[in-house]
Amino acid sequence: MRKIPLIKNEYYHVYNRGVDKRNIFGTKGDSNRFLQSMDSFNTEEPVGSLYQLSFDKRFGRRTSKSSKKLVEIVCFCLNLNHFHFLLKQVAENGISEFMKRLSGGYTKYFNEKNERSGVLFQGKFKSSHIDSNEYMLHLSVYINLNNLIHGLSGEEFKNLSFSSWKEYIEENMESSMCAKQVILDQFKSKGEYKDFAEKSLPDIIARKTQEKEIEEMFID
């Protein structure tokens, strides 16, 4: 049984990485596939593969835009060998079902593409309950700017890593996956959130570095 119960209408930090810390996104197509899966599998309706979903949509068999979601994705990042989500569970068992579909579907795609077999992710996804507003705000920064925390930039970040950062700071986004208002409603504008995030980032990086150094002290 999961140590932290996943409760409806509560918020959680959900994350996982590749087995043996291997990269799970090798091309831009891989990242796009994962993003597409995040959108298509987030429904209470029974679903099959992305191929089956596209077939059903062509013949008008699905109304996914009007169907109820399993989770609200507040923010996300995909970074080479791992991912982070800030999720609100809006259906009973919604996070577990969403992650089962997402991990299983992407593993099948990745294994077929790369002619491999076996697990891709390091066990079941990890989660922590978000129990304060301060935690939620700083976690949104940690996730949205996770590439900077890990030192990813330039073409490597542009082609293989994605986050919801642009959704949070750019006006008039053509498409949006995230339920951002729980964060943005606490600021006067997207610009104010951007300032908050950029000012918070150095402290977040410092804490992350310190945690890593402490962990390494206990490794033989």
Q: Going edge to edge, which strands form the sheet with 11-17?
A: 126-129, 11-17, 82-89, 71-79, 162-163
Residue given tokens 């976690």 in the structure block: 139
Q: In terms of pLDDT, which residue wins out, 154 or 78?
A: 78
pTM above 0.85, yes or no: yes
Q: In terms of pLDDT, which residue wins out, 34 or 215?
A: 34
Which helix H or strand E contains 190, and what residues bound it?
helix 190-217
The yes-or-no verdict on residue 208 having pLDDT over 60 is yes
| pLDDT of amino acid 212 | 67
Lowest-confidence pick of 115-119, 133-137, 153-157: 153-157
Tens digit of each residue's pLDDT (9 = 90 or more) over 84-98: 999 999 999 999 999
CB atoms inside a 10 Å sphere around CB 69: 16
Tens digit of each residue's pLDDT (9 = 90 or more) over 50-86: 545 553 444 344 444 557 999 999 999 999 899 999 9
Dihedral of CA 201/151/182/100: which sign? Answer: negative
Q: In terms of pLDDT, which residue wins out, 45 or 127?
A: 127
Which residues on neighbouring strands pair with residue 121, listed in sequence order? Answer: 18
Max CA distance (Å), the chain: 59
Amino acid letter, residue 50: L
- Name the band, by pLDDT with cuts 50, 70 and 90, for residue 209: confident
CB atoms inside a 10 Å sphere around CB 63: 10
Determine contact, residues 100/14, Cβ cutoff 8 Å.
no
41 three-state secondary structure: coil
Residue 209: both structure tokens together: 């570095």
Residue 101: both structure tokens together: 């579909």
Tens digit of each residue's pLDDT (9 = 90 or more) over 58-68: 434 444 455 79
User: HSE (CB half, 13 Å, CA atoms) of 165?
Assistant: 20
Tens digit of each residue's pLDDT (9 = 90 or more) over 190-203: 999 999 999 999 99
Domains within the chain, CATH numbers bracketed: 11-217 (3.30.70.1290)
Residue 43 region, left (φ>0) first, then alpha (ψ -120 to 50), else beta?
Answer: beta
Residue 213: both structure tokens together: 């150094």
Closest to 82 in 3D by CA, of 138, 150, 173:
150
Tens digit of each residue's pLDDT (9 = 90 or more) over 10-32: 999 999 999 999 999 989 899 99
| pLDDT of amino acid 50 | 58
| pLDDT of amino acid 39 | 93
Closest to 144 in 3D by CA, of 82, 209, 84, 71:
84
Cβ neighbors of 155 (< 8 A, separation 6 or more) are: none
